[in-house]
Amino acid sequence: MRRVTPLLILCPIAVWGVDATPPPPKPLPAATNPAAVAPAADVLPAIPGVQIPPAVAPSNWKFTGRFGVFFSNVNTTNSDTSLDPTISGASTSTSFLGTYDGQANWKEGKDSIDNLLKARYGRIRTEGQDWTENNDELRYDGVYRREIVEPHFIYLGWGAESVFTGPDPYNYAFDPTTVKVSAGYGQRYEDFIPDKNSLEFRLGARAQKKWGQSVGPTEDGIETGPEAFVRYEHLLKRGDGEYDVRFFAQYEGFSEFNDLSHISNLITAGLTVQLTRYITIELGIRAYYETRTKEDNGTQIGYNQWSIRQDSLFGLTYQY
Transcribe 178-227 into DSSP letters: EEEEEEEEEEEEES-SSSEEEEEEEEEEEEEEEESTT--TTTSS-EEEEE
Least confident of 122-131, 180-189, 257-266, 288-297: 122-131
- List, in order, residues 6 or more apart from 4 with CB less than 8 Å away: none
Query: Rounded mean pLDDT of 76-93?
Result: 89
| 44 compared with 197, residue with greater pLDDT | 197
240-269: pLDDT as tens digits: 778 899 999 999 999 999 999 999 999 999
Query: Rounded mean pLDDT of 66-87?
Result: 93
- List, in order, residues 6 or more apart from 189 with CB less than 8 Å away: 151, 198, 199, 200
Residue 147 CB coordination number (10 Å): 14
The answer to whether residue 203 scores a pLDDT higher than 90 is yes
Q: What is the pLDDT of residue 6?
A: 45
**What gap in Å lies between CA 14 and CA 265, rounded to an integer?**
110
Q: Are 181 and 201 in contact (CB under 8 A)?
A: no
Cα–chain center distance at 195: 18
Cα–chain center distance at 289: 27
141-160: pLDDT as tens digits: 999 999 999 999 999 999 99
**What gap in Å lies between CA 180 and CA 162, rounded to an integer?**
12
Residue 176 CB coordination number (10 Å): 20
If you compute the radius of gyration of the chain from its CA atoms, what whole number of angstroms results? 36
The answer to whether residue 8 scores a pLDDT higher than 50 is no
Query: Rounded mean pLDDT of 20-41?
Result: 52
215-247: pLDDT as tens digits: 888 788 999 999 999 999 999 988 777 889 999
The CATH number that domain 62-319 falls under is 2.40.230.20
**Phi/psi of residue 186, each to 5°?**
-155, 175
Q: What is the pLDDT of residue 309?
A: 95
The answer to whether residue 313 scores a pLDDT higher than 90 is yes
Residue 128 CB coordination number (10 Å): 5
Name the 3-class secondary structure at 228.
strand
Mean pLDDT in the chain? 85
pLDDT band of 28, cuts 50, 70, 90: low
Q: Are 138 and 164 in contact (CB under 8 A)?
A: yes
Q: Are 188 and 200 in contact (CB under 8 A)?
A: yes
Least confident of 69-78, 131-140, 157-166: 131-140
Least confident of 82-86, 139-143, 164-168: 164-168
Ordered DSSP codes for 62-81: EEEEEEEEEEEEEEEESGGG
State pTM to two decimals: 0.79
Among the listed residues 308, 310, 267, the one whose alpha carbon sits nearest the alpha carbon of residue 88: 308
Q: What is the pLDDT of residue 50?
A: 67
Kindly tell me the burial class for residue 11, based on how many C-beta atoms sit within 10 Å of its own C-beta (0-12, 13-18, 19 or more).
exposed
140 residue type, one letter:
Y
Q: What is the pLDDT of residue 208?
A: 97
Residue 78 CB coordination number (10 Å): 17
Among the listed residues 228, 176, 177, 221, the one whose alpha carbon sits nearest the alpha carbon of residue 206: 228
Q: What angle do CA 261, 262, 265 make, to 5 degrees?
A: 115
276-306: pLDDT as tens digits: 999 999 999 999 999 999 888 877 889 999 9
